[in-house]
Amino acid sequence: MFLATLSLPELGEATPESHSFLAGLTLGRQARHVIRGAASLLDVDELKQGLRIVSRDRTGAISLTVRTHAGAKGAVRVIVHPRNPHLTLGTTLGMLSIVEAGDWHHGLLPIPAGDDQVEAVCRGMVFEAERLLRRGLARTYRSQSSRLVRLSGRVDPLDFATANLTGRSRVQCSFSQYTTSNAYNQLVALGLIAASRISSDRATRSRARRATQQFDIEPPRYVKRPKFYGGQYAEYAGAHQLATLLLDGLGVGDRRVDTATIAPFSVATNLLFESFLLSAVRHALGRMYQVRRERLRVFDRGAESQRTLRPDIVVREVATQRLVLIIDAKYEASFPQLPASDHYQAYVYGDIFGRAFAERPLPVVLAAPYTETVSVEYQRVSSRLDARPHRPITWLLGIGIRELVDAIRRRGPRHEPKLAEQLMLIVASTGEPRVPR
């Protein structure tokens, strides 16, 4: 019995008083085991009134087995969505697939409004498996030894001579035979089994079971993911990534375990946004610029940790190694309303790195998720405090995650013109900064 779906932001809380369906519930045995493994995602306390669920600073989804006072068994799906107002679970999965999972065959998984990541991955698992079936499953050779009427492969001379003397029709042969029962197909079959048991959508479960039957493979309890994806196995990378995400839930690969309890997602979204921004900037600027994380030495005294600063992203010209841009990822900020501390941090970066490594002025970008990609030139510090003609410039850059992910899905990151245009504008900026209108 599927009870309800609970949606919480990062660092959110749900109690029996705020969500009545939590009243009178207790955790199942398997759910207690998963909660210990998913402690980075949320805390669950069993109170006299029911369950109290507190999310941490991560994005994810988890399905918990619960019991009511009457002893009925059910499941509660808990979805922890980003606390940034411009990010959704769909954009989080899009960033995750680009940074960690690579490019799937048919692009990123679309997630309808109100849907969660687990359902999206279940549908993607079925979609990729059906595509592999239409294409034809990868086959490998398997060595066999058997008595055959028609000679095949390597014949045992002694057994052949004995058969001739005794009039026996079958001869012992060692031969190789094509088979689809290999690690590539077994991992996909395990992913389908997981999807058929995890998904709360009846149509998805039915499609997963039908696809599993077409594989006609008895999958083992555990299959190690292959490392080679070339030749006939090139199409398996996406399906294996989806299967791995599902099977990462504790006990999903074991048929004897209640698979209503799964926690395949627990993502540190602030770090994910920083990694995605690094990848997007690198592709947008192209080969003329070097984009990386870099620890820069800016002080002459003190311990090593006190002599260096480490911005999130450092951009240099490849030919001259000249520092041209500093980017600081601001996941928690709501563009363009950034606190004064972020502006002062950008000013320090621009002042110190500009004097040490670059011709003045050195632009510093504070990049935050937004509904579209747009930049604003900004001078936070009053000219009465800093009257230099080339004092550091701060740029506020809104990153349209949804449009950027869609562009990467359709055509590749090099064909996303808006981000490249804004970055090149900032890199080429010189002269007196202007206060935005």
Give the model's pLDDT for residue 13. 94
CA distance 200 to 118: 9
Split at pLDDT 50, 70, 90, the class of 107 is: very low
Regarding predicted confidence, which is higher, 116 or 61?
61
Helix 117-135 to helix 183-198 angle (10° resolution) is 140
Compute CA distances 378 → 44, 255, 313, 359, 390, whole Å: 44, 58, 19, 19, 13
Q: How far apart are the first and last CA of the chain?
A: 56
- For residues 102-108, give the mean pLDDT: 39
What token pair was written down for 156? 């045992």
Helix 236-247 to helix 183-198 angle (10° resolution) is 50
pLDDT at 225 over 90: no
Identify which of 408, 404, 277 has the alpha carbon closest to the alpha carbon of residue 330. Answer: 277
CA distance 429 to 426: 5
pLDDT tens for each residue of 383-421? 555 555 556 778 889 998 888 877 765 655 455 678 888
Give the model's pLDDT for residue 17. 92
Give the model's pLDDT for residue 369. 92
Give the model's pLDDT for residue 307. 62
Q: Average per-residue pLDDT in the chain?
A: 76
Q: CA 312 from chain center: how many Å?
A: 20
CA distance 378 to 350: 13
pLDDT at 112 over 70: no
pLDDT at 100 over 90: no
CA distance 262 to 30: 9
CATH architecture entry for 1-84: Sandwich (2.60)
Least confident span in 80-89, 143-152, 301-310, 312-321: 301-310
CA distance 21 to 4: 8
Is the domain defined by 269-427 classed in CATH 1.10.3470?
no
Per DSSP, the three-state class of 44 is strand
CA distance 167 to 118: 63
Split at pLDDT 50, 70, 90, the class of 52 is: very high
**361 cis-preceded (ω within 30 degrees of 0):** yes
Q: Do β-strands 26-27 and 59-67 pair in parallel, antiparallel, or remain unpaired?
A: antiparallel
pLDDT at 238 over 90: no
Compute CA distances 268 → 43, 93, 249, 265, 301, whole Å: 16, 12, 17, 10, 35
**Helix and strand element counts for the chain (H, E):** 12, 19
What token pair was written down for 260? 């209503």
CA distance 5 to 9: 13
Least confident span in 27-31, 90-94, 196-200, 433-437: 433-437
Q: What is the 3-state secondary structure (H, E, C) of 213-262?
A: HHHCCCCCCCCCCCCCCCHHHCCHHHHHHHHHHHHCCCCCCCCCCCCCCE
Give the model's pLDDT for residue 347. 80
Residue 298 identity (one-letter amino acid)? V
- For residues 149-170, give the mean pLDDT: 76
Give the model's pLDDT for residue 65. 78
Task: Please report where in the chains the tokens 């980075």 appear, as a residue.
Answer: 40
Give the model's pLDDT for residue 228. 81
Asked if residues 193 and 219 have their Cβ atoms less than 8 Å apart, the reply is yes
Split at pLDDT 50, 70, 90, the class of 106 is: very low
Give the model's pLDDT for residue 298. 61
In the chain, the percentage of residues whose pLDDT exceeds 70 is 75
DSSP string spanning 369-399? EESS-EEEEE--S-TTT---TT--EEEEEEE
Split at pLDDT 50, 70, 90, the class of 240 is: confident
Give the model's pLDDT for residue 410. 60
Least confident span in 77-91, 92-106, 365-379: 92-106
pLDDT at 292 over 70: yes
Task: Spell out a b/e string for 73-110, using b for 16 or more CB atoms within 10 Å of the CB, else e.
Answer: ebbbbbbbbbbbebbbbbbbbbbbbbbebeebeeebbe
What is the domain partition of the chain in residue ranges?
Answer: 1-84, 140-179, 269-427
- For residues 286-294, give the mean pLDDT: 86
Asked if residues 66 and 31 have their Cβ atoms less than 8 Å apart, the reply is yes
Regarding predicted confidence, which is higher, 295 or 387?
295
pLDDT tens for each residue of 324-359? 888 999 988 788 888 888 888 888 888 777 777 666
Regarding predicted confidence, which is higher, 267 or 275?
275
Least confident span in 20-34, 93-107, 114-128, 293-307: 93-107
CA distance 213 to 218: 10
Identify which of 71, 336, 346, 109 has the alpha carbon closest to the alpha carbon of residue 204. Answer: 109
Task: Spell out a b/e string for 200-224, using b for 16 or more CB atoms within 10 Å of the CB, else e.
Answer: beeebbebbeebbeebebebeeebe
Least confident span in 34-38, 63-67, 238-242: 34-38
